Structure 1
Amino acid sequence: MIAFLARRALALVLTLLAATVAIFLLLEVAPGDPALTMMGMNADPEAVEALRRELGLDAPLVTRYATWVLDMAQGDFGTSYTYKTPVSELVAERLAVSAPLTVYALALSTLIAIPAGVFAASRRGRAGDYAVMGLTQAGIATPNFWFAMLLVILFSTVLQLFSAGGFPGWEAGFWAGIKALTLPAVALALPQASILARVMRSALLDAMGEDWMRTARAKGLSRGQAIRRHALRNALIPVLTIIGMQFSFLMAGAIIIENVFFLPGLGRLVFQGVIQQDLIVVKSVVVLLVFAVVLVTLAVDVAYALVDPRLRERRP
Structure 2
Amino acid sequence: MIAFLAKRLAVGFATLLASSVIVFFVLEVLPGDPARIMLGMNASPETLAALRLEMGLDRPIPIRYLDWIMGLAIGDFGRSYTYSSTVMDLILERLGVSLPLAVIALTLSTLIAIPVGVFAAARRGRAADTITMGAAQVGVAIPNFWFALLLIYVFAVGLRLVPAGGFPGWGETLADNWQALKALILPAVALALPQAAILARVTRSAMVDVMGEDYIRTARAKGMPHRTVLWRHALRNALIPVLTIMGLQFAFLLAGTIIIENVFYLPGLGRLIFQAIIQRDLIVVEGVLMLLVATIILINLAVDICYALIDPRLRLSR
TM-score relative to the length of structure 1:
0.98
How far apart are residue 314 of structure 1 and its match? 3.7
Matched residue, 1:274: 277
Matched residue, 2:286: 283
Matched residue, 2:121: 121
Matched residue, 2:244: 241
How far apart are residue 95 of structure 1 and its match? 0.4
Mapping of residues 210-229 of structure 1, within 5 Å: 210-229=213-232
Large movers: runs of 4+ above 6 Å: none
Q: Separation in 2 of the partners of 1:148 and 1:32? A: 34
Matched residue, 1:81: 81
Q: Any idea what the Cα deviations from partners look like across 1:141-195, whole Å, max 9, x if unmatched?
A: 0000010000000111111111110001011622211111000000000000000
Determine helix, strand or coil for the equivalent of 2:197: helix
1:104 has 2:107 as partner = no
Given candidates 231, 235, 249, the residue that maps to 2:234 is 231
How far apart are residue 39 of structure 1 and its match? 1.3
Matched residue, 2:188: 185
Contact 1:166–1:263 at 8 Å: present in 2 too? yes
Amino acid at match of 1:295: L
Q: Any idea what the Cα deviations from partners look like across 1:13-72, whole Å, max 9, x if unmatched?
A: 111111111111110121111110111101112221221111111111111111111101
Comparing 1-10 and 147-156, the one that deviates more: 1-10
Q: CA RMSD in A?
A: 1.0
Matched residue, 2:208: 205
Q: Separation in 2 of the partners of 1:173 and 1:116? A: 34
Count residues with an aligned counterpart: 315
Q: Separation in 2 of the partners of 1:312 and 1:173? A: 46
Q: Any idea what the Cα deviations from partners look like across 1:108-132, whole Å, max 9, x if unmatched?
A: 0000000000010011111221121
How far apart are residue 255 of structure 1 and its match? 0.4
Q: Separation in 2 of the partners of 1:202 and 1:223? A: 19
Amino acid at match of 2:233: H
Amino acid at match of 1:104: I
Matched residue, 1:170: 170
Amino acid at match of 2:306: A
TM-score relative to the length of structure 2:
0.97
How far apart are residue 282 of structure 1 and its match? 0.6
Amino acid at match of 2:250: F
Comparing 26-35 and 96-105, the one that deviates more: 26-35
Mapping of residues 59-98 of structure 1, within 5 Å: 59-98=59-98
Contact 1:4–1:312 at 8 Å: present in 2 too? no
Determine helix, strand or coil for the equivalent of 1:170: coil
How far apart are residue 294 of structure 1 and its match? 0.8
Determine helix, strand or coil for the equivalent of 1:272: helix
Q: Separation in 1 of the partners of 2:262 and 2:99? A: 16
Unaligned runs of 5+ in 1: none
Q: Separation in 1 of the partners of 2:296 and 2:125? A: 37
How far apart are residue 311 of structure 1 and its match? 1.6
1:306 has 2:305 as partner = no
Matched residue, 1:146: 146
Identity across aligned pairs (percent)? 63
